[in-house]
Amino acid sequence: MRYVVLTASVLRRFKEVSTIFKDVKLVVPLLAFAEAKKMGVNLDEISGDNVWIRAYSHKPPKLGGLEKHDSEAVLLALTASVLRRFKEVSTKFKDVKLVVPLLAFAEAKKMGVNLDEISGDNVWIKAYSHKPPKLGGLEKHDSEAVLLAQELSATLVTDNVKVAEVASSMGVNVILLDKALSG
């Protein structure tokens, strides 16, 4: 199942959005839902079998100038190679949900990463909804990370340029770790 996370401003046009994305799960963050009410949106229209109103797992912070109701919608999927630097990643992106693909988690163990360090209130270890195929010559764990990011409408964090290229070609937003940490 593919998910599309909606921000408060999009909820003004919910009927149109729900028609466009009728075959996916529409995730409405609880704070966005509350903000839509303040904006005068008819909340009775924000419903359906594919609508999921959900709260972030803990109090969402304001991110980079975003309102809290928009910050709640941010997910970052991590590749296995990035997990070697998990402390840096979790410090840099402490205010967002970090999604660790299950195959990347297993690969990190093979690479000698201390798996106990890959934890926290903002960490979610998740498998892709289907058996992930290999994409564009990528390792299976990297393919899963790209597909999971695409499935969750998340941004992919990687330090591998080939993974970034494949992900970008599939419409996935990508953050190269070294660029993010230096900026």
Is residue 163 very low, low, confident or very high in pLDDT (cuts 50, 70, 90)?
A: very high
Comparison of pLDDT for 31 and 167, the residue scoring more: 167
Tell me if residue 23 falls in helix, strand or coil.
coil
pTM of the model: 0.60
Phi-psi region of 131 (alpha: psi -120 to 50; beta: other; left: phi over 0): beta
CATH number of the structural domain 75-182: 3.40.50.1010
128: pLDDT strictly greater than 80: no
Cα gap 183→181, rounded to integer Å = 6
Q: Rounded mean pLDDT of 11-28?
A: 84
Q: Rounded mean pLDDT of 107-126?
A: 87
1: pLDDT strictly greater than 70: no
Give 63's Cβ-side CA count (13 Å radius).
15
List the domain boundaries for the chain.
Answer: 3-69, 75-182
Cα gap 20→38, rounded to integer Å = 25
Q: pLDDT, tens digit, for every residue of 52-103?
A: 887 765 555 554 445 554 444 578 899 999 999 999 998 888 878 898 998 9
Residues of the chain with pLDDT > 70: what percent? 88
Q: Rounded mean pLDDT of 155-180?
A: 90
Comparison of pLDDT for 21 and 169, the residue scoring more: 169
CATH number of the structural domain 3-69: 3.40.50.1010
Is residue 47 very low, low, confident or very high in pLDDT (cuts 50, 70, 90)?
A: confident
Query: Which distant-in-sequence residues (6+ apart) come within 8 Å of 20 by Cβ?
Result: none
